[in-house]
Amino acid sequence: EDQVTQSPEALRLQEGESSSLNCSYTVSGLRGLFWYRQDPGKGPEFLFTLYSAGEEKEKERLKATLTKKESFLHITAPKPEDSATYLCALRWRNAGNMLTFGGGTRLMVKP
Amino acid sequence: SQTIHQWPATLVQPVGSPLSLECTVEGTSNPNLYWYRQAAGRGLQLLFYSVGIGQISSEVPQNLSASRPQDRQFILSSKKLLLSDSGFYLCAWSHGSGRAVEQYFGPGTRLTVT
């Protein structure tokens, strides 16, 4: 059973059309949730870390939120340059510094 | 600031040939180091991680191996490549301790086994 699930797998938006990406998890003992952006053919770029339910982080058009069972990455008025795959990853209590990654959401923003 | 390098950027190798991918980190000491593989359109699969020189933990049994000969150098190797070894290989580092354990990734190596 997958421990980290991202949805949707792919999302097409028009420029300026706000939406949210979801990252849900099934295991307790969360020590941190991380969001990354990955452009094609490149390594993931770190965006945010969230540690506890209720926490929020913002960067430009992106806002990440965390509840006890899921995290959302809200994209406000996206631009074509926001097109990328967004990955979430979790650190569990008994996993040391290792992260478990979700499958990612491929975001395409059309002008 | 910290920088992570990987080489080569791309590699095409025949089945049965050996492999050596290198990763180096600059600007930090005693990092944790990680090797991941990413299949096309998929998430990241952790292959190996290291908390120090000569200390390697394997997450997935396979024909790959890893070594850490120096504090900021991490090498991924194989004696004989399989077709299934094709993929995008990513090296990452994180601080060795403390709350800030975000992993920072290198540019990756695209490996095609023919």
Which of B90, B79, B100 minimizes the C-alpha distance to B31?
A: B100
Is A103 within 8 Å of B43 when comparing Cβ atoms? yes
In a structure prediction context, what are the per-residue pLDDT tens digits for chain B, which is 114 residues long?
889 999 999 999 999 999 999 999 999 889 999 999 998 767 899 999 999 999 999 888 679 999 999 999 999 999 999 999 999 999 999 987 766 689 999 999 999 999
Is B103 within 8 Å of A87 when comparing Cβ atoms? no
Question: Which two three-digit tokens encode residue A94?
Answer: 């008994």
Tell me which DSSP letter residue A54 carries. T
Tell which A residues from 35 to 64 touch B, by Cβ distance under 8 Å.
36, 41-46, 49, 51
Peptide bond into B8 cis (omega under 30): yes
Contacts of B34 in chain A (CB under 8 A): 98
Contacts of B11 in chain A (CB under 8 A): none
Residue pLDDT, tens place only, A43-90:
999 999 999 999 999 999 999 999 989 999 999 999 999 999 999 999
- The rounded distance, in Å, linking the Cα atoms of B11 and B102 is 28
pLDDT of residue B61: 66
SS3 B85: helix
Q: What's chain B's length in residues?
A: 114
Does the pLDDT of residue A1 top 60, yes or no?
Answer: no
Cβ(A32)–Cβ(A57) below 8 Å:
no
pLDDT of residue A93: 79
- Burial zone of A44 (CB within 10 Å; 0-12 exposed, 13-18 middle, 19+ buried): buried
- Per 3-state DSSP, what percentage of chain B is helix, strand, and coil (rounded to 5)? 5, 55, 40
A46-83 core/surface letters (b: 16 or more CB in 10 A; e: else) = ebbbbeeeeeeeeeeebbbbbeeebbbbebeebeeebb
A84 touches chain B (CB under 8 A): no
Kindly indicate the confidence band of residue A2, based on its pLDDT and cuts at 50, 70 and 90. low
Does the pLDDT of residue A31 top 60, yes or no?
Answer: yes
Cβ(B63)–Cβ(B82) below 8 Å:
yes
Is A43 within 8 Å of B94 when comparing Cβ atoms? no
- Burial zone of B45 (CB within 10 Å; 0-12 exposed, 13-18 middle, 19+ buried): middle
